[in-house]
Amino acid sequence: MSIWTAYNQTAHNLFVHRNTLNNRLLRIKKLFELDPKNTEDLFQLFIGYITFYYRQTL
């Protein structure tokens, strides 16, 4: 599977255009200085999200 196929499928599942998806990923990269395309950075973003969500439910 090519990277573009994955992008297209992800955009389709999120009901957004693939350019919108790319812009959002670039914004995340700029805001958090973590690249969501990098596995280690994606893990850090995931843990941060889970922590944020958990603290909001307390």
> pLDDT tens across 3-54, in order?
668 889 999 999 999 999 999 999 999 999 999 989 999 999 999 999 999 9
Q: Where are the beta strands (DSSP E) in 1-58?
A: none
Identify the pLDDT of residue 2.
67
Burial 34-57 (b: 16+ CB within 10 A, else e): bebeeeebeeebeeeeeeeeeeee
pTM attached to this predicted model:
0.78
